[in-house]
Amino acid sequence: MANRSFIDKSYSMVKRRVDLYAAVSVGAAGAVTLLKWNYPTFGAGPNARTYTAAPTANALPTGAPYPLQYGCGAEGVRSVTRTAAGLWTVQLQDAYQRVLGVRATVDLAGGLSAIVGAALNTTVTNMNSNGGSTIGVALLSATATALDPAAGSVVLLELNLADATEP
């Protein structure tokens, strides 16, 4: 299970519910890049309050247990890879008990998104995978077929997970 200091009040019947968020930039031919939010700090440079590509080096966690530092990924998500049109594999930094829900919001500069929903791809999802849970995500069009978002868009993923070991 995740070894983090999460906020303890979720007002949910599910014990130790965890919500993770990821921003994924979509490039040409559906190529994806996990993004990291640059929080403002005193004297921060021009990247504060913007997204930049998340670090991809060092697949294993490093640093002190609190706060647990990771050498790659962003805010609980280790990596996102495209496996086929509209199909992504999301690797988390920690292992979780189960997936409660997956949502996707497409951020566009203009126009309408062809992506109308997200679904859990259960053939890929493995909550006991080595190095963190693996979640398969399918981005769906209005005809319920997997579809890549438009190049230049940013997909905001919301992952609702259960971290509880007890029923």
pLDDT tens-place string over residues 70-127: 567 888 899 999 999 999 999 998 888 899 999 999 998 788 899 999 999 999 999 9
Name the residue ranges covered by the structural domains of the chain.
17-30+76-162
Around Cβ 130, how many Cβ atoms within 10 Å? Answer: 7
Contact present, 79 and 88 (Cβ < 8 Å): no
**What is the enclosing helix (H) or strand (E) of 162?**
strand 154-162
* pLDDT tens, position by position, 37-46: 887 777 766 6
- Helix then strand then coil, % of the chain, to nearest 5: 0, 40, 55
**DSSP character at residue 111:** S
